[in-house]
Structure 1
């Protein structure tokens, strides 16, 4: 090989190296860009040099760990955003339910001093209306949060489908580029960036196939991307609970399989589901049991007393009856409706599932623990009594039919005051206008364990506030730790794959000098050739 050809090979290699370093420099702040390095080798002819490859400085292990950390951080961040709203809602001291409950019972205490005092009676009505207004505001806000979470799940599933479709398309393009023998570093960067973005939404496992394509799957092994194909997720209303959105997997044949919420442990999708299934529903149920317990206990006394007009008292508060939803997959025509019994001491914050089988008839289980619940079936009245509720059954259930019972989920938002006239408060047990016997019993409800037979109203609310606050603090601590881990992994990943401007500036100078030296080789070769040609 001539000296000129050797020099030209160096010029060509220098140009590629300069182009690679320039590309690194200009993409230093491009999201997802991976450092590229030109690798030199001796020319196959034995003389000169060639660039054997321009490779990405990419560490699959570190990237996998980083994506996993991103997924966990995203779940915690989403959960914290939601739970902080509930924490702030409940912890408002001036307008907290506990403060308003105290004001309500304080008004009753004033009434006990003089049951004939119309001003005191109106004060009780005013305090009751303020209390119910706060209950309904809290309940409605939580209902809106539940709707918003369902909407966010819809949106994020759409984003997941969009990303998996793009990843599958890039698999195809990368495979084609490799088949043509061309470099596809930019496509590889795009694909890795999409996987990182997907990890923010849902935790996924990525497997690199022999042909370089990515297989992306959920934690349960179901493939979202396999080669050039992507498989969609879709949302729908839960068959058992119409208040919740569920996610289903669509296979290649178009069949759908509803996925358990536990499938999504990481990513913002997992954070939303975890918040909805724990903190949100538990808070709704806790507020609901407060409303139901106060309603049932006060109404029992009210209806046993005498008002200022000498008439038997009527219900003071009202809440919606328990909600029951038949599973949409039921084949029988049975419908169930529920009411609270006079004694709600057995009522809990759990939801329940009523199931029917030809062998066992109707059985009841708690949804929070899965434990069986003792239930009494009256075949004559066709009623099922359990956990402070009486369930009326009409129609006939088929084997395998099930029904979801939400005893207190909607109680807070439906809580209302039925009496607007203070004279209708049944403060006494006789026709005497100054009789305060029943008012004293009403006052005792403040310190009686009327919630589940174990806690007072204030204790129950304080426990709720404490539990939500504790959850918010725990999630914040976990998020701080996880964010620190993500930052460390990002630093490690960037130390290998990120662009260092100073290093690239030095490389540009080196490759420029290398280019000039190779040009000098060509110049020398040309001079020698001219000299030889001039010899006569």
Structure 2
């Protein structure tokens, strides 16, 4: 009987081993499945008086091949990789808005500036003027189109985040339900391997969207925390995540994930608090990268539009009138805040006072413990500018911006300003007739020469800050020569203010052929050749109001000169502005791609380590099939032998 029992035990044990191996093979492609193994143990022997005789084998349990450490490492790395990948993919889409080629913004800017060259060559040519208007309309449309592309990318990003949040809520409920099943199963003393695999896979899936930390509940259940300490799953109960606009700055477009337990208050979670997962990457893109793209586009719109507006307003139209603005650009925007004292009509505002000093950034005014003192924070790099009170703040010019708060802030309050965000969306061409292009200078010059005309007019350049009233009519340039032959010029009447007053202009100076001479604020003239000087007389140049505006092209030439004028960052010219923005976006995209590639490589390695423990190897399982098959056949043979012996005994006893 003992041999029969041993054989029966062996047969059952090897049958379970075969079934477990077959289950491994069947689930080789099942996501999250952990390889299972049969743990054998020797059955307790029987004391026969002269020693213990074995009673065969028992199956202790079906063991799950699983490493908690490797699983945690792979799950955390997956969250980081998902965040990097989502951000990289979104940046690749944004980079297309700042791409080059014939359909790009850079080409539209160049085409418009080059069109002024034809007006400079033929100021009365209606077709040349119409081409400029067409190019201006094209540029405005390109700006609006680029802004619309960013808006569409913003919308799709929000939709993706909203879908991801709904998926996380659904997965969290499934984890809580599995917690209940696993706790009941664990109470029997055995481990429910398949349920554990399913739950661990759900946890890995959640971490593709938001990063979590896991805490063992001690009864077979687990708790999942996000944002450091917020319990998404606590045993068999779950919290909810939702995607909403930031409550701190309503209307700013900045999004946040909100965590809320049943009956509790909602808590805002930033991308930094979430840590990893696709939602964190998309939040970082939407609130930072996309916002920078909008600011770069808005700064370009305002800087170029303001430069062209200013130049056109300095010149004279074909009818002799002062030119107007070419583009409608928003120079004043409102701040966003929840402070009740800043409600209408006391809404905070920011105004662009110098478009060449703009930074592609949002700004935040923060009031500290000693309010109304506070600081202005440039959010792109954290640079701060302190102020003492509202009068001090309103008097400051920060990065070409003037901030105005009509009410004081209290401790801890803040105001967000986005002066560039919507500029490209709103830009419009305002000139519809070629006659309204101010191609002529408001100032004309005439040269009186003592003899042969050795002095020639190089050009009059009217720039920002010029006021016609500041130049007396007439104003003359006369010349003198010293004993060494050095030629000097004298401006009559002397410009005001004179040095050392701020902005003062010297009434005399050394004449150098081709070098610009400043006559008044924003007005320069360049002369070539050598002026004649005879005793107390010399060649003279007289300046006054331009009456030949229909044939003059001085301001059109000034438009062309804007191509090389510095209008960005104190060093970048108008013609290079788009290239600089494209390079900035490209650098950020390349950095994100590198981070995504690196984190994906880390995930691959850690996942390989995890699968080395938990994964199913078909070759190994096939070998085990043969091993357990032979053991099963041997066990059956043992039963056959025991049956034969038993039959022999019965036969002998029966006689």
What TM-score, normalized by structure 1, do the two folds share? 0.92
Secondary structure class of the residue paired with 1:314: coil
* Aligned 8 A contact 2:336 2:416 in 1: yes
* Aligned 8 A contact 2:317 2:439 in 1: yes
Q: Deviations over 1:345-402 (max 9, x none)?
A: 3322121123467832675322223333367988699898654344555577666543
- 1:296 equivalent to 2:306? Answer yes
Q: Which runs of 5+ in 2 are unaligned?
A: 46-53, 443-545
Q: Which runs of 5+ in 1 are unaligned?
A: none
Partner of 2:232: 224
1:232 Cα shift? 2.3
CA gap of 1:490–1:398, structure 2 versus 1, over 3 A, is closer
Q: 1:513 aligns with which of 622, 626, 630?
A: 630
* Aligned 8 A contact 1:330 1:398 in 2: no
* Aligned 8 A contact 2:353 2:402 in 1: no
Bigger shift: residues 465-474 or 348-357: 348-357
State the distance in 2 between where 1:414 and 1:326 align.
Answer: 19
Q: 1:413 aligns with which of 405, 408, 425?
A: 425
CA gap of 1:220–1:208, structure 2 versus 1, over 3 A, is same
- 1:111 equivalent to 2:119? Answer yes
State the distance in 2 between where 1:57 and 1:103 align.
Answer: 67
* Aligned 8 A contact 2:186 2:220 in 1: no
What is the RMSD of the two structures over their aligned residues, measured on CA atoms? 2.6
Partner of 1:532: 649
- 1:16 equivalent to 2:8? Answer no
Partner of 1:500: 617
Secondary structure class of the residue paired with 2:285: helix
Secondary structure class of the residue paired with 1:445: helix
Q: Deviations over 1:216-248 (max 9, x none)?
A: 222523332232232222222112153122112
Q: 2:285 aligns with which of 247, 270, 275?
A: 275
* Aligned 8 A contact 1:376 1:384 in 2: no
1:30 Cα shift? 0.9
Q: Which has the larger radius of gyration?
A: 2
State the distance in 2 between where 1:70 and 1:514 align.
Answer: 42
1:307 Cα shift? 0.8
* Aligned 8 A contact 2:439 2:556 in 1: yes
Partner of 2:487: none
Secondary structure class of the residue paired with 1:207: strand
Greater helix fraction, Structure 1 or Structure 2: 1
- 1:427 equivalent to 2:424? Answer no
Structure 1 residues 174-213: aligned runs within 5 Å? 174-213=182-221
* Aligned 8 A contact 1:378 1:384 in 2: no
CA gap of 1:202–1:524, structure 2 versus 1, over 3 A, is same
State the distance in 2 between where 1:237 and 1:384 align.
Answer: 31
Secondary structure class of the residue paired with 2:256: strand
State the distance in 2 between where 1:298 and 1:202 align.
Answer: 47
Q: Deviations over 1:278-300 (max 9, x none)?
A: 32111110111111011222212
Q: Deviations over 1:324-358 (max 9, x none)?
A: 34323646535325464453333221211234678
State the distance in 1 between where 2:340 and 2:396 align.
Answer: 19
- 1:344 equivalent to 2:355? Answer yes
* Aligned 8 A contact 2:169 2:240 in 1: yes
* Aligned 8 A contact 2:332 2:352 in 1: no
CA gap of 1:518–1:164, structure 2 versus 1, over 3 A, is same
State the distance in 1 between where 2:420 and 2:639 align.
Answer: 88
Q: 1:99 aligns with which of 86, 90, 107?
A: 107
Partner of 2:271: 261
Partner of 1:139: 147
State the distance in 2 between where 1:529 and 1:283 align.
Answer: 89
Secondary structure class of the residue paired with 1:303: helix
Which structure has the higher relative contact order (CA within 8 Å, separation 6+)?
1
* Aligned 8 A contact 1:235 1:246 in 2: yes
Partner of 1:367: 379
* Aligned 8 A contact 2:298 2:422 in 1: yes
Partner of 1:29: 29
Structure 1 residues 162-173: aligned runs within 5 Å? 162-173=170-181
State the distance in 2 between where 1:21 and 1:298 align.
Answer: 78
Partner of 1:436: 553
Structure 1 residues 397-476: aligned runs within 5 Å? 400-428=412-440, 429=442, 430-431=546-547, 432-476=549-593
State the distance in 2 between where 1:512 and 1:131 align.
Answer: 78
Secondary structure class of the residue paired with 1:246: strand
Structure 1 residues 63-82: aligned runs within 5 Å? 63-82=71-90
CA gap of 1:497–1:374, structure 2 versus 1, over 3 A, is closer
CA gap of 1:525–1:211, structure 2 versus 1, over 3 A, is same
1:124 Cα shift? 0.8
* Aligned 8 A contact 2:394 2:402 in 1: no
Q: Deviations over 1:114-165 (max 9, x none)?
A: 2212111111111111111111111111122122222222221222222222
* Aligned 8 A contact 2:331 2:352 in 1: no
State the distance in 1 between where 2:341 and 2:160 align.
Answer: 32
Q: 1:354 aligns with which of 361, 365, 370?
A: 365
Partner of 1:306: 316
State the distance in 1 between where 2:386 and 2:570 align.
Answer: 17
* Aligned 8 A contact 1:377 1:384 in 2: no
Q: Deviations over 1:240-264 (max 9, x none)?
A: 1531221122246512111232113
State the distance in 2 between where 1:501 and 1:351 align.
Answer: 57
Secondary structure class of the residue paired with 1:20: helix
Partner of 1:2: 2
Q: Deviations over 1:172-231 (max 9, x none)?
A: 211110102344111011011111111211222223343333232225233322322322
* Aligned 8 A contact 1:205 1:219 in 2: no
CA gap of 1:437–1:378, structure 2 versus 1, over 3 A, is farther
1:17 Cα shift? 0.8
CA gap of 1:179–1:329, structure 2 versus 1, over 3 A, is farther
Bigger shift: residues 118-127 or 341-350: 341-350
